[in-house]
Structure 1
Amino acid sequence: MGSLKRPPALAVGQRVRFEGQVRGGLEVTAQAAVLEDAETPHRVVALIDLFETADFEILFQPERMPLPASGLLETFAPEVMKRALWWEEHILEVLHGLPPDVEPGTPPRPGYGPGTSVTSRQKTKAAELAALGHEIKSGAVGLRRRRYTEDGLVGPARLVDHRSVRKRKEFGDAPDAVVAAMRQAIKEGVETSTRNGSYLIWRTGEILRENGGDPAELPSRRTLYRLLDRLTAGTHTTGSAVTRRSTAHGAAAPFGELTVSAPGEVMQIDSTPLDVMVRLDDGVVGKVELTGMIDVASRTLTAAVLRPTTKSVDASVLLARTVTPELMRPGWIDALKMSRSVLPHRRLLTIDERLEHAAAKPVIVPEMIVCDHGKVFVSHNFRASCRFLEIDFQPTHKGSPFEKGHIKKMLCSVATMFAQFLRGYTGRNTDHRGRHPEEENLWSLPELQELLDEWIVAHWQNRPHEGLRDPDHPGRLFTPNQKYAALVVLPCEVGDAAGGWLPFQRSVSAVVIVVVQPLRERFAAFGF
């Protein structure tokens, strides 16, 4: 059986053999190629016909030379540059079989045509230059060819005059051993508490001594401080420890924001302490942790779980609540039903009959979940749940909370828009804490969980979000429910309105008023 091979790839500038002629590629599209022709200015040939021709062959492929550093070229003397340009013409003929700036259709000279190797062309060039009075061997021609391929025009220029370019040391006169010791001292301080420059200089001397170096090699303190500034630029070595760890453990390559266009394409999960005192099952007063999951495309808070201490099973419970409908609870008003919301209830009901009694919150199945390296999320239990549901598990880089900024911002919003209205609110730290919040009329954990679920459906899903804007009208904000409806259906199909976006806007504003008012009454019933 014959072996498989990739089809040929043709690019602009390549020279090919076709129908007995050597032609250059002028233009290449997905279906055809424009080639040079001896009788006409050009010839258009279908790629399938070109590749199936018996004598088709790609002869010479132009190599892209690196751009020379202009600062280096300016350091060469004019006679050195003249000599390097002379060498460039000969090197290009060795590489491509043709000298630069030849007329289209010019055939290669004898010894440089099709079927010749680079080594044979180097020997031909060396013999040609020897006949002109330049005594040089083929190995020297090969050396200049390799330098030109690696460094561009700077390579042959350096071979002409080694003294023209003097490479300056990156850190001046500081010995390499001192630079290496200071780098190690800076690296040791990534995970430790923040220290100032004097400690790092002292530690540099200790490392130098431990490695068998001579402390006398240390330059003056002023030079060491300048070296420290160079090595710690942008690393926050003497600044915030959190920012330093985030910078050190972040991605080395350029990074950007994921573009999402569908619900569930990217979802983020995280956990944080809730700034509220709660009465636990045994009557003890304590704080609980909030674990939530948010959909990046629609900003839908798909589920939130309160636990005294979050465990791996709680993350799996959160995932289960994300993929199942939120059923209406006793005491919730009819305005919270999905059938009364802007969500495409009729279309979704044909997919899952359980949505008949569901609350106005979308059911979103994740395709990818982004999380940090907390033990709860990297546990075998949560990973197994993701594998069972065929969900891509994507942990962030260590110490890089900005890579899941949507869930971080959502958890902060829960504190400002929900937790501070509750009895037993403690504030975000001791500076913001009042006197004896644990003595207030506190909620029990089940009561607080039910109130949080109602707040998500009533307030969060119907609140205009700054990150959800109409592309055609940037001044208009979407709610999470509106954004979800816009991503899964056409505008004229949203809700029960048949008139497009205008009735849709009016119905949403009315629903928000009907939904938020009962929540205010429930808060007032507890004395605030």
Structure 2
Amino acid sequence: MTAAVAWDLSPGNEFVVNGVPWTVEAFQPQVGKVVLVRPEHEAWKTSVRQLMHHPNIRPSTRTRKDLPAASRGRQPKGVLDLPPSKRPLVMLRVDHLREVETGFRSGDPLNALPGEPKPQYDPNSTTLTERRHAKVRELRQDTIRNPDLAAAHCLDKVSYRTLIRWDLDRRRFGPVGCADDRWLREATGRQISAAVREVIFAVRHETLHRSKLTAKDRERLIHQYVREEFGKDEPVPSYETLRVVWKEWFGSTGARQRFAVSAARAQAVATGRHVVVSRPGQVVALDTTVLPVKVREQVFGDPVSVHLTLALDVYTHSIVAFRLTLVSDTSVDVAMILRDVMMPLPMRPDWGEEMEWAYPGVPGSVIAEFTDGKVAGLPFFAPETVTTDHGSVYKNHHLIEVQRVIGATIRPSRVLRPPDKQAVERAFGAIQSLLFRILPGYQGVDSSDRGIDPESDACITVAEMEHLIATWVVRTWQNRRFGSYYSSCRS
């Protein structure tokens, strides 16, 4: 079954005769005469009767106004374009449309099935709208009774508007109009010559370190490069093809240029292997941030800002050491915090027994023998690898000597790669939300959240803040269950 297509013989429309395109130059309906022309050929004067009975003629899709714009100039879709497994599904949809239209699955009263027409589909007693609503109810009931079969037939989500759309497309394109466009055969794809491929990679390498360019800018550079290297005879794909190929090969271009450059550099040196942290002390992450709470210095009592440096064990997420400095930290401060990582934290006078060493495997009495006192419940070990950022305090000879003495490896994280130190970044955010926000002198996350005068609210000294953080780390942080890492098998 094929759709009947009305011929438009107005001047300018095109017909394909024996595989050759001809354009209508003139049409005289009063005498049934038509004049067809094509470049470098004599005009073909014929009649409408001869055209109608020609064995190999069809309207060209380039001038058919009944086709969507995307289908003009292309081979019309047909049933043969469908996979063999989808053709019965299309004909099943056509049968449903015939039953809605005529009351008979075959569309012919002479070939009626037993019980046809059904009362809800009888054209003599129902309207077309009523029959369509009845068909929707029937398909929904079939879906409830056998959802798997309905899904296999692709009839489980049919609505009233779906039936109208199928019917209109069937009248325009034939049975294939009822098919899902995703069932049609895939496009043949794009072809990129070796020369154009070389040019695309050259333009990528050239523009990576420059400011961000649009797809149109890259297209102009590709055309320029092709003309200079391969001459004007080398064909260049269209803009849309270049845009799609660029996205397939290099990913989306929506990122900021600095992040795109960083990602390209990381990809160039990537080994394909990932570091798996499997034991305590294997990786310790160091980072420094400004304390979001104003404190008072101990000499003159002025409100000041201090820097907080954290050392976090990546495996256990334990804060194994921290340090407060009035000014920005130095390499000496980094060396001291590494020393604190390897030394046990002594108990303080106001700390109770619940904060003492309580780790299995090593009794607290053994630890107390070489520390001359009780030890708080904070891990200590010799770190194997220390991950830092790219601050100047980590790039000096003093820290290199510290690295040699303690036998650790200090490695900077990748540029613009926060996941390399995401554990310590999350720790900063957790401490801020769990502790710092409720303290007087808290400055907020930015100037919009800042109070009227956080400096005047500051009442905690640097020493008191250090003691408060140490108490909170040992008592709260070390005993806190983290949802992302705690076992799901909870009692």
Normalising by the residue count of structure 1, what TM-score does the alignment of the two structures yield?
A: 0.48
Q: Which amino acid aligns with 2:244?
A: R
How much does 1:213 deviate? 8.8
**Equivalent residue, structure 1, for 2:411:** 394
Give the C-alpha shift of residue 305 in structure 1: 1.2
Q: Partner amino acid for 1:312?
A: S
Matched residue of 1:316: which SS? helix
Alpha-carbon separation, structure 1, partners of 2:455 and 2:240: 55
Distance 1:216 1:310, change over 3 A: farther
Deviations 1:225-256 (A, max 9, x none): 334324431xx543245753552233523233
Deviation at 1:302, TM superposition (A): 0.7
Q: Residue deviations 1:328-369, cap 9 Å, x none?
A: 23433443233xx45566356258531632222122221222
Rounded to whole Å, the distance in 2 between the matches of 1:352 and 1:293 is 26
Decide which of 272, 277, 289 is 1:272's aligned counterpart: 289
The question of whether the paired residues in 2 share the 8 Å contact of 1:426 and 1:434 is answered with yes
Which of residues 285, 310, 314 is equivalent to 1:296? 314
Distance 1:195 1:249 in 2: 18
Partner of 2:116: none
CA distance in 1, matches of 2:224, 2:372: 68
Give, in whole Å, the separation in 1 of the partners of 2:450 and 2:197. Answer: 52
- State the match for 2:490 in structure 1: 476
CA contact 1:279–1:285 (8 Å) conserved in 2: yes
Contact 2:208–2:261 at 8 Å: present in 1 too?
A: no
Find the counterpart in structure 2 of residue 506 from structure 1.
none
1:239 aligned onto 2:255: yes
Distance (whole Å) between structure 2 residues aligned to residue 343 and residue 356 of structure 1: 19
Equivalenced residue count is 298
Q: Which amino acid aligns with 2:455?
A: E
Structure-2 change in CA distance of 1:351 and 1:451 (3 Å): closer
Which structure would you say has the larger Rg? Answer: 2
- How far has the Cα of 1:318 moved from its partner? 0.7
Where in structure 2 are the equivalents of 1:256-405 lying within 5 Å? Answer: 256-261=274-279, 263-280=280-297, 285-307=303-325, 308-338=327-357, 341=358, 346=363, 349=366, 352-354=369-371, 356-405=373-422
Distance 1:214 1:440 in 2: 73
Q: Are the aligned partners of 1:249 and 1:398 in contact in 2 as well (CA < 8 Å)?
A: no
Structure 1 residue 212 displacement after superposition: 8.2
Q: Distance in 1 between matches of 2:348 and 2:192?
A: 68
Question: In the TM superposition, what is the alpha-carbon distance from 1:416 to its structure 2 partner?
Answer: 1.7
Q: 2:265 aligns with which of 249, 267, 282?
A: 249
Contact kept in structure 1, 2:368 and 2:375, CA below 8 Å: no
Distance of 1:215 and 1:247 partners within structure 2: 35
Q: What's the CA shift for 1:299? A: 2.1
* 3-state DSSP of counterpart to 2:403: helix
Percent of matched pairs sharing the same residue: 23
TM-score by length of structure 2 reads 0.52
Q: How far did residue 407 of structure 1 move?
A: 2.0
User: Kindly tell me: are residues 199 and 389 of structure 1, through their superposed partners in 2, closer, same or farther at Cα, counting changes over 3 Å?
Assistant: same
Displacement after TM superposition at 1:267 (Å): 2.0
2:67 corresponding residue in structure 1 = none
Shift of residue 202 of structure 1?
A: 5.9
Paired letter, 2:321: A
| Aligned counterpart for 1:452 among listed residues 466, 469, 478 | 469
Shift, 1:258, TM fit: 1.0
| Residues 277 and 285 in structure 1, CA contact (< 8 A), matched pair in contact too | yes
Q: Distance in 1 between matches of 2:414 and 2:296?
A: 36
Contact 1:186 1:237 in 2 (8 A): no
Q: Distance in 2 between matches of 1:376 and 1:303?
A: 18
- Partner SS, residue 264 of structure 1: coil
Amino acid at match of 1:446: A
Relative distance call for 1:342 and 1:177 in structure 2 (3 A) is closer
CA distance in 1, matches of 2:278, 2:447: 39
Name which of 453, 460, 475 aligns with 1:443: 460
Equivalent position amino acid for 1:228 in 2: W
Note the alpha carbon deviations across 1:127-160, whole angstroms, 9 max, x for none: xxxxxxxxxxxxxxxxxxxxxxxxxxxxxxxxxx
Q: Distance in 2 between matches of 1:252 and 1:391?
A: 23
Over the aligned positions, Cα root-mean-square deviation in angstroms equals 3.6
Provide structure 2 residue ranges, at least 5 long, that are not aligned to the other structure.
Answer: 1-188
Given that residues 346 and 375 in structure 2 are in contact (C-alpha distance below 8 angstroms), is that contact kept between their aligned partners in structure 1? yes
- Contact conserved, 2:286 with 2:309, CA < 8 A, in 1? yes
